[in-house]
Amino acid sequence: MSVAACVWLLVLAPAQGEAELRLTYQTPSATETSLDALKITEWKAGDHLFLGVDEANLRAEPKKDGALVATLRLGTPVEVLEVGAARERVADRVDRWVKLKTLEGPPKEGFIFGAVLTPLARRMDLDGDGAEERVAVVYSPEFKPRVRVYEPSMKGKWVVATQDLDRVDGTTSGGTLRWLEVTGGKGKPRMVALADCAGTLCSVTVLQYTADKGKLGSLGTVLRGVESMGDTSPVVTARPGEVKVEGLSARLVGDRWVPYVRVFPMGSDTEVIPVTWAPGGQLVMLHFESEARGPDPDAPCDIYGTVAKGTHKGKEVIGCTVGLGGKVGPNTVSLAWFIKLKKKKLGFLQSSSDAYTDDVLDKLRAKRFEVEHVSGVLAGAYNPATLYEDDRGSLVRSDRTPEGTPTGPEVIAFEHEVLGKVPMEVGSDSLGGIALRQGDGSMTNFKYRLAAEKHGEIKWRPSTTSTAEHAYTSGRRVGCESQDEYWDSVVVAVPQDELEPAGVVLPGMFQVFKMKTEPRKARVERLEELGISQDFETTPPLYIRDSFGRWLELLPSAINKSCMAEPIVYFYPPHPMTVHYQLGANVALAHTQPPMPNNGITLEARPGGTFADVTGRRHSWLFWEGTSSRAPHPGTGDVVRREDVAAYFSRVLPVLGLQGREIEDFKDAWIPRLSATPYYLIHFYSAAEVEVRAPVTVTPAPDSNLRLLMDALPLQEEVDAPSSPLPQPPARGAFAVVEWGGIVR
């Protein structure tokens, strides 16, 4: 059993009074390493320091081939006697020769190169095995803090564990190291914290040393982050299983450290109402309808259980479920919670969504229910608008409750005072959120959002000292109406050795990465095999750690999901028949009319092109829009002036197979949309390409199915683009289905 399994600690903390000790090794740039350009700590006679490397050679003369006086182990204390007049370069380090004497064991005097000395060293039992280790920190030739732990109880060579620390903000030009004070817990904390500062920004790193008794252990990162602290030294609070410093924190979950977030407290006076969950029938049915969507599914107010104890013990718990057409994905489900105080009197507690809450209350009052607000939250149905927020990002309540369960493996993210242990998905390609199962069996989704997304765009700099900024517009599409470039983020599994620093994200100064050259080329080749051309040199996907340590991939809009707008479907049966229209699962519906639960609809089609939905309401066409596979515009087609769009449609739409009202409907929908820029590159996809983007199954199978999908790329000036042939329409059969739409860019 590992000793560290029973002992938790941080590595690198000072003894009392050591917090002001500093070690500087910094260059103006990663390529500037001249003797005079480097900024280094200058030692002076009388300084008490330590050996920051193991088996350092003490020489009789101030030169690298001087006679050997002794070999010194890591952490040996020394006193500086003299300092050389000139800087020198020895191997790949710059410093001065120092004459010193040892302060441990028989005293020895000699010369040693100053770059191997440090004021930052400690002796303490790091792994809890009863024997002291020595820990020391110096800068590496690559300007990175190099942490070493030496096990004196182990004899011979190779008894030193080493770890180099990358700066969290991506800079590679060194800085100034210092200890941070650590407090908390009973007795003297067996832990330390280190700040590596460049200007006012400091990378804070906390390490853990684990070892089996009698064996050399290893260093592992507990917490990393960037803080703006200048000359101030914030205190690290460390308790068993939890570490905090300023806006950074981590908790021990099982055998791994995970970032910890600020949970928004309810307040000490908020009552948590326990519930015995047990379905008990229906109280009342509410009816919803909108002009845009038509009738929505009825909203049942059902009995979900009873209050287990407290003021309202034994009272029934009522949940009103409103299923509506969602802006993203299939259907929104809004849950409004009540306690039945009397036969016709309800106490309103909370809704899983702010949307439609007032409508629910109004419709209950119209049913002659008296409704009043009551304090407290249900223990199994707590849905705060913001579950937590830190400097890096936040979890905010989504407007929908997805069906089913999370698809990826889960770990415990944090513990909440009402929700208890809150799990998070760690699998690849998840949205990065948290899906909470409520007491009634439903799921409430909390979406993870980067803090940078709140400020309208995602910006980053090549380094903290650089003034150059790169920026991409950030935002969320609502249906297909927003046409701005945007970046969307998904959780991905990406090996860190395939990434390299791209700079720091603003605000927050968190490090952002991009793919190294070879993995980037391989990904471009995979995209090209799919027919997707993307310039990853100028617009690379970015990678950033979220609040939980997962990788988020930020994809440029050019390869983000295309939004298919205004798809209109006409059904022309030879006689009345029941028809089912089913879109593929790869299409995320943004809006439909009438509603299409689970991407499908069953309708009663009539000759002449009308149909009735399940409510009996009649329609002239089926409307949907949504997102599908990622792909840029193909770059081929017809370049059309804004003023000529109407004439162009009049000419090509009959060739493509549209007739009569289908042509007029298409023009009514798209001529206004294609008016923002002087030119458009218009491309029509083949039937096979449309099927890939939006596969559909019509039952019974039609005799002909015409599907047109236009892709209109806005242009500020006329270009010379390769033409592409117009797809050939099928001959219309006895049972014909006609569908047209376009991609919004």
Tens digit of pLDDT for each residue in 423-482?
A: 665 543 344 567 676 666 666 777 777 776 655 566 666 665 556 666 665 444 444 544
Q: Which residue has the higher pLDDT, 549 or 236?
A: 236
H/E stretch holding 517: helix 517-529
Instruction: Evaluate if residue 648 carries a pLDDT over 90.
Output: yes
Amino acid at position 685, single letter: Y
Instruction: Evaluate if residue 51 carries a pLDDT over 90.
Output: yes
Q: Which residue has the higher pLDDT, 195 or 559?
A: 195
Question: pLDDT grade, residue 538 (50/70/90)?
Answer: low
| Arithmetic mean of pLDDT, 703-721 | 89
**Which one-letter DSSP state was computed for residue 643?**
G
- Structure tokens that stand for 496 in this block: 């860190």
Instruction: Evaluate if residue 650 carries a pLDDT over 90.
Output: yes
Instruction: Evaluate if residue 331 carries a pLDDT over 60.
Output: no
Q: Which residue has the higher pLDDT, 617 or 578?
A: 578
Please give the mean pLDDT across all residues of the chain.
Answer: 77
pLDDT of residue 428: 39
Instruction: Evaluate if residue 23 carries a pLDDT over 70.
Output: yes
**Which one-letter DSSP state was computed for residue 162?**
E
pLDDT, one tens digit per residue, over 397-433 is 764 543 444 445 566 666 665 666 676 655 433 445 6
Q: What is the rounded CA–CA span in Å between residue 558 and residue 65?
A: 60
pLDDT, one tens digit per residue, over 513-529 is 888 877 777 766 765 55
Q: What is the rounded CA–CA span in Å between residue 205 and residue 195?
A: 7
Residue for token digits 């200058």?
A: 42
Q: Which residue has the higher pLDDT, 190 or 340?
A: 340
pLDDT of residue 562: 60
Taking alpha carbons only, the member of 5, 617, 560 closest to residue 256 is: 5
pLDDT of residue 391: 65
Taking alpha carbons only, the member of 78, 80, 84 closest to residue 97 is: 84
pLDDT of residue 403: 46
Instruction: Evaluate if residue 265 carries a pLDDT over 60.
Output: no
Q: Which residue has the higher pLDDT, 535 or 688?
A: 688
pLDDT of residue 245: 78
| Arithmetic mean of pLDDT, 75-79 | 96
Question: pLDDT grade, residue 230 (50/70/90)?
Answer: low
pLDDT of residue 394: 79
DSSP symbols for 647-700 = HHHHHHHHHHT--HHHHHHHHHHHTTTTTSSSEEEEEE--HHHHHHHS-EEEES
Q: Which residue has the higher pLDDT, 275 or 413?
A: 275
Stretch among 100-109, 356-365, 427-436 having the lowest mean pLDDT: 427-436
Q: What is the rounded CA–CA span in Å between residue 560 and residue 474?
A: 13
* Percent over 70 (pLDDT), the chain: 69
Stretch among 4-13, 500-509, 544-553, 659-668 having the lowest mean pLDDT: 4-13
Stretch among 173-177, 564-568, 570-574 having the lowest mean pLDDT: 564-568
pLDDT of residue 264: 43
Cα separation values, 595 from 117, 566, 633, Å: 72, 15, 30
Q: What is the rounded CA–CA span in Å between residue 562 and residue 531?
A: 14
pLDDT of residue 487: 43
* CA-derived radius of gyration, the chain: 33
Domain-wise residue ranges, the chain: 1-40+120-259, 42-118, 272-378, 456-558, 561-744
Q: Which residue has the higher pLDDT, 697 or 91?
A: 697
Question: pLDDT grade, residue 588 (50/70/90)?
Answer: confident
| Arithmetic mean of pLDDT, 300-306 | 90
- Structure tokens that stand for 54 in this block: 């193991």
Amino acid at position 155, single letter: K
Backbone angles phi, psi at 719, to 5 degrees: -125, 165
pLDDT of residue 287: 80
Residues 6+ apart with CB under 8 A from 496: none
Instruction: Evaluate if residue 600 carries a pLDDT over 50.
Output: yes
Q: What is the rounded CA–CA span in Å between residue 385 and residue 185?
A: 34
H/E stretch holding 518: helix 517-529
pLDDT of residue 322: 72
Taking alpha carbons only, the member of 400, 378, 259, 258 closest to residue 328 is: 400
| Arithmetic mean of pLDDT, 34-43 | 86
Q: Which residue has the higher pLDDT, 322 or 15?
A: 322
pLDDT of residue 469: 65
Neighbour-count burial for 709-723, b at 16+ CB within 10 Å, e otherwise: bbbbbebeeeeebee
Four-way CATH pick for 42-118: 2.60.40, 2.30.30, 3.40.1620, 2.160.20: 2.30.30
End-to-end CA distance of the chain: 58
* Percent over 90 (pLDDT), the chain: 27
3-state secondary structure of 511: strand
pLDDT, one tens digit per residue, over 681-706 is 999 999 888 888 888 999 999 999 99
CB 464 within 8 A of CB 446: no
Instruction: Evaluate if residue 151 carries a pLDDT over 60.
Output: yes
Stretch among 193-197, 344-348, 533-537, 648-652 having the lowest mean pLDDT: 533-537
pLDDT of residue 369: 95
CB 243 within 8 A of CB 10: yes
